[in-house]
């Protein structure tokens, strides 16, 4: 069978494919900018050109078309990348509309939830018997109890298809969800898996590559990104919001009610969820993208928002937490920020009171 490459590219606008993989893209004119998944990118170095349907990273030099992006992200050959794209839902809306905004999520079917939960449990068991994965978590300051509670996992890449088959769950659907490639290989292979749990089910997951892995740092499923961990904090008076999954794990490990944006661009519906909390503490990264996201969220959420500036030169709270004394430094900074807000509120009350 001959492949119409141009048709594949037309059916899969590059910005959508990149955004679906968890890269937050911000539009600037006819381009999108985002943090490059192929290197440790502190600034948005990745440019996505809609007119030529191509990408280029000014940090590491990675470049190409949508097929190159998929090949590189998933470590696939050309044919496998075409198959991978063919397994994704086709995007039929015109390019100027199919941007990085997340579409309204279609509710997961019961079968979807069973497949995702089966994968999550399989990966969790694998994590607990994989020294390399446990050592990685330990190095990043994630204690074993938290790994169990959050059902963190690891994919060794060989077990999912046979396991789903034994459970009589659909491999085809597992492929559509982004768990399996056409040849049965696992998308999450060799990655630490962080699931989003809802009502005892796994509803989404992302995989973190180990240090030194040439693939994309994070790989999410072919589903809209959730506010990671939101179920655990729903109804709480005060919610802490982080960027990345490991920042979320750090705060959760410290007993704080936290959830993660999974990037710097809150998806549709995320602000509505945060709006329900009485107060929101933003613990975002200390780079430009993190600061811009904090400013934007503060503007939309208003007075209830407290932006916590991390002490020292840590780029995020996960890095801070892994340092000696990091946890204490965090809580000191939090107390100081709260005291500042408290004194401003008292001051405002004094000015307002006489006129009433």
Cα separation, 220 vs 231, whole angstroms: 19
Choice between 44 and 175, CB closer to Zn ion: 44
Stretch of residues binding Zn ion (CB under 5 A), selected from 35-43, 214-222, 261-269, 304-312: 35-43
Judged by CB under 5 A, does residue 39 bind Zn ion? yes
CB of 94 to Zn ion, least distance (A): 29
CB of 40 to Zn ion, least distance (A): 9
Stretch of residues binding Zn ion (CB under 5 A), selected from 30-38, 63-71, 179-187, 203-211: 30-38
Choice between 34 and 267, CB closer to Zn ion: 34
CB of 18 to Zn ion, least distance (A): 12
Choice between 67 and 251, CB closer to Zn ion: 67
Choice between 17 and 36, CB closer to Zn ion: 36
Site residues (CB under 5 A) for Zn ion, limited to 156-195: none
Q: Is 180 exposed, middle or buried (0-12, 13-18, 19+ CB in 10 A)?
A: buried
Cα separation, 136 vs 69, whole angstroms: 27
- Contact letters for Zn ion, residues 41-80 (x by CB under 5 A): ----------------x-xx-x------------------
CB of 37 to Zn ion, least distance (A): 8
For residues 167 and 119, is the Cβ–Cβ distance under 8 A? no
CB of 20 to Zn ion, least distance (A): 18
Beta bridge partners of 207: 193, 219
CB of 58 to Zn ion, least distance (A): 8
Stretch of residues binding Zn ion (CB under 5 A), selected from 38-46, 47-55, 121-129, 200-208: 38-46
Choice between 40 and 103, CB closer to Zn ion: 40
Candidates 14, 32, 35, 38; binder of Zn ion (CB under 5 A) is: 38
Choice between 60 and 135, CB closer to Zn ion: 60
Nearest partner of 108 among 199, 171, 228, judged by Cα: 199
Choice between 59 and 224, CB closer to Zn ion: 59
CB of 57 to Zn ion, least distance (A): 3
Binding positions for Zn ion, rule: CB under 5 A: 36, 38-39, 57, 59-60, 62
């Amino acid at each position: 069978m001959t492949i119409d490459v141009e048709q594949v590219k037309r059916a899969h606008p590059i910005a959508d494919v990149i955004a679906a993989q968890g890269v937050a893209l911000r539009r600037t004119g006819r381009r999108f900018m985002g943090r490059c998944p192929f290197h440790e990118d502190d600034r948005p170095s990745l440019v996505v050109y809609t007119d030529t349907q191509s990408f280029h990273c000014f940090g590491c030099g990675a470049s190409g078309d949508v097929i190159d992006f998929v090949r590189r992200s998933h470590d696939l050959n050309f044919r496998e990348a075409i198959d991978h794209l063919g397994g994704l839902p086709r995007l039929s809306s015109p390019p100027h509309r199919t941007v990085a905004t997340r579409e309204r999520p279609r509710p997961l079917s019961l079968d979807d939830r069973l497949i995702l939960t089966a994968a999550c449990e399989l990966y969790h068991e694998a994590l607990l018997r994989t020294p390399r994965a446990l050592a990685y978590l330990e190095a990043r300051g994630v204690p074993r109890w938290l790994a169990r509670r959050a059902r963190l996992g690891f994919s060794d890449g060989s077990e999912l298809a046979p396991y789903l088959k034994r459970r009589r769950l659909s491999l085809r659907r597992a492929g559509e969800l982004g768990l399996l490639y056409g040849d049965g290989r696992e998308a999450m292979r060799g990655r630490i898996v962080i699931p989003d749990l809802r009502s005892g089910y796994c509803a989404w997951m992302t995989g973190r590559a180990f240090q030194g892995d040439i693939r994309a740092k994070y790989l999410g499923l072919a589903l809209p990104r959730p506010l990671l961990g939101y179920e655990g904090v729903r109804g709480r008076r005060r919610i802490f919001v982080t960027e990345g999954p490991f920042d979320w794990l750090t705060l959760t490990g410290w007993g704080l009610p936290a959830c993660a944006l999974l990037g710097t661009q809150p998806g549709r519906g995320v602000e509505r969820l945060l709006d329900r909390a009485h107060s929101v503490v933003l613990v975002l990264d200390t780079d430009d993208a993190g600061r811009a996201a904090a400013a934007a969220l503060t503007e939309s959420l208003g007075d209830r928002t407290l932006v916590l500036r991390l002490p020292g030169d840590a780029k995020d709270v996960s890095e801070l937490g892994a340092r000696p004394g990091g946890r204490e430094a965090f809580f000191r900074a939090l107390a100081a920020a709260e005291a500042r807000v408290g004194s401003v509120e008292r001051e405002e009350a004094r000015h307002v009171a006489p006129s009433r």
